[in-house]
Structure 1
Amino acid sequence: MSHTTTEPAAAPENTVEQPKAKPFYTHLGFQVIAGLIVGLVLGLIARAIGTVGEAKDPNWLTTLLTEVGSAYVKLLTVLVIPLIVTAVISSVARLRQVTNAARLAVQTLIWFAITALASVVVGIVVGLISKPWLTAGVSGDAASEPGRVGEWTAFLTGLVPSNIFGLSVRASQSADGVITASPNFSILQILLISIALGIAALKVGSKADPLVSLSESVLAVVQTVLWWVIRLAPIGTAALIGKAVATYGWASLASLGAFVVALYLAMLIVWVLVYPVILRGHGLSVAQFYRNVWPVISLGFVTRSSMGVMPVTEQVAEKNLGVPREYASFAVPLGATTKMDGCAAIYPAIAAIFVAQFYGIDLNITHYLLIAFVAVIGSAATAGTTGATVMLTLTLSTLGLPLAGVGLLIAVEAIVDMGRTALNVTGQALVPTIVSKREGVLDVDTYNAKPSFTGAAA
């Protein structure tokens, strides 16, 4: 009888060990949601504690939430200037590596306008449908003139920098006559100066290589530090949401409920209809796009700062969507300044219809065309002093509507601003993706792959 011995199969050589998936709780998205829940609870507790004394001063918890939230927003913006300067100089200087750079810039502006126009049309339609309920239960006691008014000349004055750093000082006077001065910077001016320096480096050629290398080195350091700040988003989220709940509560939301619902409905339509149509029209997966951009959507929602999360938008555009680095570092800062489908298109459209309805003023087709015009051009016109309230005042003044109507919407500003910013950053990531695809420079394999940038802890 013969015995056959079976040799064990040899282990394959050069076996590559697959990296283990990181626990779900290390992902920034999960931590932000947890911070949102904690913030709601803290806000309700702060509101239950009530105010202090006859002056109705905020209690200790409300004060703590306010200070922590304010500190986080300051941290988000403190590195914006070096980020923009170094990113734009290095990206413009390296544009020689990207074919059809001029076409990319023109296409970017065109698609900014196309998506803004589509968004404002959605806003007008939703505003007209919800018109009968928009002002239900709203009292005129809150009506007040805004402190800042948007002007068409702001674009021209905003283009001319007062100094090489684009910095200025803004003075304000309190009710008791105390004058305070605070530093202020114009993103549009800084962007313009940086573009000029980048073009000059491009023209100089090899002599400017040390400047470009320095810009890239500083950019890498700034992005690392800013990412540390962004990792604090759960704490900032809890403070910002808690402060909003403690300050306004649910009563304000109930009285302006129809307006809030109409605004979020319009933004939802843009998210699930307008953007998907554009993506499918360019042969891109809609579900994959939203998987790729989710980190910046969630951060934009809770931080309410397009500029503050701009580094995340760039990371998402480059690492998840496959947009060339040189182009993304140019288009994303430009979009963070002038591309705001939530703040500059949908919100002014519905808010203008709300104000007109409240004061009993009928709007005609000319008014709606003006709203669309302001949405497409106005965000650039107010880029030096950008903001939803500034855009609203520009829209109201263009239509001849009472500016006092701005005060009616202040109570729900924090609530609606979350959705507006989330839509803003989505559009700021969408346009570079579409333009890259049209110009044949999009890395489709990166776009369709599992997102490499998820916000997970390193």
Structure 2
Amino acid sequence: MSANPASTAAGSRSGSGFRIPKVPFWAQIVAGLVLGVVLGWLTRTYDIGWLYTTLDKVGHIFVQLLKLAVAPLVFFAILVSITNLRKVNNAARLATRTLLWFMITSLIAVAIGLAIGLVTNPGSGTGLTPKDGKLPEHAGSWLDFLTGIIPDNVITPFTELNVLQIVFMAAVAGIAALQLGEKAQPILTLSESVLELLQKALWWVIRLAPIGTVGLIGYAIADYGWDLIGKYATFTADVYIGCALVLFGVYPLLLATVAKLSPVQFFKGAWPAIQLAFVSRSSVGTMPVTQKVTERLGVPKEYASFSVPFGATTKMDGCAAIYPALAAIFIAQIFDVQLGVGDYILIAFVSVIGSAATAGLTGATVMLTLTLSTLGLPLEGVGLLMAIDPILDMMRTATNVAGQVLVPVIVSAREKILDHDAYNSASSSPVDGDEVRDTEPERVPVAA
């Protein structure tokens, strides 16, 4: 008996013909941005109270879920990354070169920020006055920065989310584990398992990024409105232009000239981390994706597991270089304070040396107060920028994360340990939480 054509056709359609297409993750993010802007505009225009509250809660919950994993993630990531250096030949050389390139790129970024600020005068014509400012709840100084690294106990840094102190404890534990050798192997095995567990849980949160985007962007538009953004139009444009120049100008130039690599291929591989950083505004929250795309670009896993966590807590071209340079000029103009050549040199020094103060968290308030206190500028200026900070932080964090991928790629290329085949075949497809490298861990050679 022949099969019924109608039933066969129906079966074919149900099996494959009407399968719902999978929406790319980047498209989900873009859709979230657009929907958030629309809902934020509707909320502010028609004063929809319940929608305002909903957007606030959705965005807040997403950020809280990211922060929930920050403390243990940073601790175990730093600990494991330090101990993984034992698998890398000439680890001290790699670590030194990584730090050196962190400083070089930060210096270039702060120079661009200063140049843009001096040309555009972002504090002129805003209508803002010193009385509009207010003192920040937490101010930073060099003494606070240096003495605050060492915790009073092992519990408080985790409960208060003091990332610098967590990094300090993790570094001490990692170095001690290296010294103990085989005796520390059970602890290292447990730490690696806990880190994988945390990263797996964080992947689930990351998949919620499109929904979080709706809440974060919608609430920002509903709460601040276009009128407030207009007062900071020049400053906002300066931050975005400065970050764009570093992200799409300096980084490609370094890749092409120093590493002899294709900038287009770099952005194809790094894009999943960059777009997530833009939405989440957290370098640490993006760290699992950052490490995956760095490995996918051909950086050896053992080196990436050190450089990426290290960069996520110290490498901040957006938050710690471009932003404080522009903010210092902006605040000085609002308070009618004249800055000299020595002040600009101090800004560069603070940006290059003190960038660890940002510690990978959302926002750059600590870094800004550190810069202002060094220059002797009024800390009330921080209050002037708090209202616009979420809008600025998206582009700053995207620049941070791109730099955290860039440096390991450059160092690997110059040290002849980069997998060029992997680099040239890297795609912009979403990074899967279960994605792993096919090769077994091995000692990474370093060219003499």
Which category of TM-score, normalised to the shorter sequence, fits these structures? Answer: 0.7 to 0.9
Structure 2 distance, partners of 1:369, 1:442, is 35
| Matching residue of 2:402 | 426
1:285 aligns with 2:262: yes
**Alpha-carbon deviation of 1:238?**
0.4
Equivalent of 1:137 in 122, 126, 148: 126
Q: CA deviation at 1:381?
A: 5.1
Q: Superposition pairs for residues 27-66 of structure 1, below 5 Å? A: 27-50=24-47, 59-66=49-56
Asked if 1:388 corresponds to 2:364, the answer is: yes
Q: Distance in 1 between matches of 2:22 and 2:44?
A: 29
Deviates most, 362-371 or 199-208:
199-208
Residue 300 of structure 2 corresponds to residue 311 of structure 1 = no
C-alpha deviation, 1:102, in angstroms: 0.9
Distance 1:137 1:316, change over 3 A: same
Superposition pairs of residues 443-458 of structure 1, within 5 angstroms: 443-451=419-427, 454-455=430-431
Q: Identity across aligned pairs (percent)?
A: 52
SS at match of 1:308: helix
The alignment's TM-score, normalised by the length of structure 1, stands at 0.85
Q: Does the CA contact (< 8 Å) of 1:89 and 1:194 recur in 2?
A: yes
AA paired with 1:357?
Q
- Alignment match, 1:119: 109
Q: Is the 8 A contact 1:35 1:237 kept in 2?
A: yes
Structure 1 residues 85 and 401: alpha-carbon distance in aligned structure 2, compared to 1, 3 A threshold: closer
- Give the superposition deviation at 1:387: 4.5
Kept in 1, the 8 Å contact 2:292–2:431? The answer is: no
Cα shift readout 1:103-140 (whole Å, capped 9, x = no counterpart): 11111111111111000000000111101x54323322
Q: 1:278 to 1:24 in 2, by over 3 A?
A: farther
1:95 counterpart letter in structure 2: L
* One-letter amino acid matched to 1:301: F
What is the one-letter code of the residue matched to 2:365? T
- Equivalent AA in structure 1 for residue 28 of structure 2: Q
Counterpart of 2:338 (choices 347, 354, 362) is: 362
| CA distance in 2: counterparts of 1:445 and 1:166, whole angstroms | 45
Q: 1:26·1:457 contact (CA, 8 Å) conserved in 2? A: no
Helix, strand or coil at the partner of 1:159: coil
* Contact 2:41/2:221 (<8 A) preserved: yes
Q: Which moved more, 1:206-215 or 1:349-358?
A: 206-215
- CA 1:330–1:269 in structure 2 vs 1: closer, same or farther (change >3 Å)? same
Q: Which deviations, in whole Å up to 9, do the C-alpha atoms of 1:256-300 show, x marking residues without a partner?
A: 111111111111111122111211121111111111111111111
Q: 1:362 to 1:93 in 2, by over 3 A?
A: closer
Please state if 1:270 is matched with 2:246.
Answer: yes
| Cα distance in 1 between the residues matched to 2:359 and 2:433 | 34
Q: Deviations over 1:229-260 (max 9, x none)?
A: 10000010100000100000100111111111
Unpaired runs of at least 5, structure 2:
1-18, 435-448
Distance, in Å, in 2 between the alignment partners of 1:363 and 1:285 is 40
What is residue 147 of structure 1 aligned with on the other side? 137
- The residue that corresponds to 2:194 in the other structure is 218
Query: What residue is the counterpart of 2:278 in the other structure?
Result: 301
Change (3 A) 1:154 1:435: farther
CA RMSD of aligned residues (A): 2.2
Looking at CA atoms only, which structure, 1 or 2, has the larger radius of gyration? Answer: 1
Equivalent residues of 1:146, 1:403 under 8 A apart: yes
- Asked whether the equivalents of residues 282 and 437 of structure 1 are also in contact (C-alpha less than 8 Å), the reply is yes
Q: 2: CA distance between counterparts of 1:262 and 1:394?
A: 21
- Deviation of 1:369 after TM superposition, in Å, equals 0.8
Report the TM-score, using the length of structure 2 for normalisation: 0.87
Match of 1:329 in 2: 305
1 CA distance for matches of 2:348 and 2:199?
36
CA contact (8 A) 2:283 2:361 kept: no
Cα distance in 2 for partners of 1:134, 1:225 equals 43
Partner Cα distance (2:188, 2:399) in 1: 33
Q: Count residues with an aligned counterpart.
A: 414
Counterpart amino acid of residue 93 in structure 2: R
Post-superposition Cα deviations, 1:319-340, rounded to whole Å, max 9, x if no partner, equal 2x22222222222122111111
Report the 3-state secondary structure (helix = DSSP H, G, I; strand = E; otherwise coil) of the residue aligned with 1:362. Answer: coil
Structure 2 residue 69 is matched with structure 1 residue 92: no
Conserved in 2, the CA contact under 8 Å of 1:40 and 1:242? yes
Which of the residues 44, 60, 69 maps onto 1:70?
60
Q: Closer, same or farther in 2 for the Cα pair 1:278/1:165, shift >3 Å? A: farther
Mean CA deviation greater in 38-47 or 136-145: 136-145
Bigger Cα displacement from structure 2, 220-229 vs 115-124 = 220-229
Partner of 2:4: none
- What residue in structure 1 maps to residue 175 of structure 2? 199
Mean Cα displacement is larger for which, 349-358 or 118-127?
349-358
SS in 1 for 2:62: helix
Alpha-carbon distance in structure 2 between the residues aligned to 1:442 and 1:24: 35
Deviations 1:364-418 (A, max 9, x none): 1111111111111121356599941222222122222222222222221111111
Question: Quick one: structure 1 residues 23 and 101, their matched pair in 2 at CA, closer, same or farther if it must change by over 3 Å?
Answer: farther
Report the CA distance shift for 1:327/1:23 in structure 2 as closer, same or farther (over 3 A): farther
Specify the code of the residue in structure 1 equivalent to 2:27: F
Matched, 1:110 2:100: yes
Q: Give the Cα separation in 2 of the matches to 1:269 and 1:441.
A: 28
